[in-house]
Amino acid sequence: MPVSISYVIPHHNNINLLSQCLASIEQQTYQATYSEIIIVDDCSTDESMAWLKINYPTVIVEKNQRNLGFARSANRGLKKAQGEWIILINTDVRLAPRCIEAASDWFSEKEIGSIAFSLLDMRRPELYDSAGDLYTIAGYAQKRKERLSVRDNPLESGPVFSASGAAAAYRSSALRNVGYFDESFEAYYEDVDLGVRLRLAGYECIFEKDALAYHLSGGSYGDKAFAAKREFLNSKNSEKLFFKYYPEVFGIPHVIRHFIVMIFHILGKFFISKAWIHFVAGKWEAFSSIHKTKQSEFDINREINKEGLLRVLEPRWINAHFASWVRKSSLKLRNQDWVNMTRE
C-alpha cells in the first residue's frame, strides 16, 4: 500500500548538484499518497535560492540564519517532514528512477526503522560507494563494499547495521522515538550514531540492493576546501560515538580492540597521509572532551535492546579494518589520490 513521502535535502551552494538531485526526485516511479520536498538552506551565498524559487516554486524552503552544518540542518528538515517515510538525501546524490519504488517493498514492515540504499560511486559507477554501514566489534564504522566492483561483489537485500546519511529512508515515527541526529557530531558518524539508537530501540535496518543511487562523495562540501575538517571530524567523531555508549553497551573487550585499531590508524596516517595532523588533532579533541560525550540529550539508561545490537556487530574486525586499510592505502599511493581513507 502506498505511503506518504517527504524528501529532505540539506543544501549549501552549488546549483548544479541541487538541480541534478531534484531532477532525480522528479523521475521517481513510486506513486506516494502524498509527497513533499523540504530543502534546508545552510546559508548559501550563491544564486541557488533565487534559482530554486523560479524553477521549483512548490518546494518547501527552510533557511538557516547562520551556518549550522549537516546534522542540525538535516534535523530541521526531518522535524518538519509530514511523510510516513522520510528520504534524507544529500545534494551530491542522484536517485535512480526506481530507487524509492524498490525501497518501498519494506515500508509495511513495522520493525524496520531505516533502509540503506545501494550507493554507487558517481565518478566510477562500476564501484560501490556504500552498501549500508557496518560497525565492528572493535568499535569503528565502515562503508560496506566501498570502492569494490559491483560486478564482482553481487549483494542480496537484507539486514545491515545502519544506513548512510548520504541517502537513506527513515520511518518518521522511529525518528521521533529515538531523537533524530545528535547535533554535537556536526557531520560524519552522526548517521551511525542514529543507527545505534534505532537498534537499541529495537528497530531493524535493511539494505535494498535495487534502491540504486549515485553519490559524488565529498561533492556537497567540496573535496579540497573541506578535506582538513573532514579528516578532523571523522577522527574525533569515531571516538565520540564509541565512548558515548561505553560502558552501557560496549565493554572492555571492545575497548581493547578499539585501541589496537586506533594505534595502527595513527601510524598509517603518519606515514602515508598529508592530513595526519588533522587526524591526530581529532583524536586529541575527542579524548580531551570525553567527559562531555556522556552529557547527551539521549538517555540510553532506559530499557534497551543491547544484545540485539551486539549481535549485528561485524566480528571480522581484523579483516574489516586492516585488509581494507591496506587496500585503500595501496590505491592511494599508486594513484597519488589524496582522498580521505576513513569513513566519509
Which tens digits make up the pLDDT trace of 194-235?
A: 999 999 999 999 999 999 999 998 766 555 556 888 899 999
User: Does residue 32 sit in helix, strand or coil?
Assistant: coil
Which residue type sits at 7? Y
Residue 189: closest CA among 340, 66, 64: 340
In order of their start, the domains of the chain are 5-215 (3.90.550.10), 227-335 (no CATH)
- Supply the pTM of this predicted model: 0.91
Place 341 in a pLDDT band, splitting at 50, 70 and 90: very low
Half-sphere exposure of 34 (CA within 13 A, CB side): 6
Least confident of 16-20, 177-181, 276-280: 276-280
Integer CA distances (angstroms), 201 to 103, 108, 110, 111, 168, in order: 22, 18, 13, 10, 19
| Under 8 Å between Cβ of 74 and 101 | no
Contacts of 86 (CB under 8 A, 6+ apart): 5, 6, 7, 8, 78, 169, 170, 171, 172, 175
Q: How far apart are the first and last CA of the chain?
A: 35
- Cell matching residue 178: 529515538
pLDDT reading at 289 higher than 90: no
Cβ(298)–Cβ(194) under 8 Å?
no
Q: Residue 320: its pLDDT value, please?
A: 86
DSSP bridge partners of 314? 136
pLDDT band at residue 290 under the 50/70/90 scheme: confident
Closest residue by Cα to residue 103 from 121, 91, 85? 85
Confidence of residue 340 (pLDDT cuts 50, 70, 90): very low
**pLDDT recorded at residue 329:** 60
Closest to 101 in 3D by CA, of 10, 25, 8: 25
Q: What integer is the mean pLDDT of 95-105? A: 98
What mean pLDDT comes out for the span 245-273?
90
> Which pLDDT does position 330 carry in this prediction?
57
Which residue has cell 578535506? 227
Work out the average pLDDT over 97-113.
97
Q: Confidence class of residue 336 from pLDDT cuts 50, 70 and 90?
A: very low
pLDDT tens, position by position, 66-95? 999 999 999 999 999 999 999 999 999 999
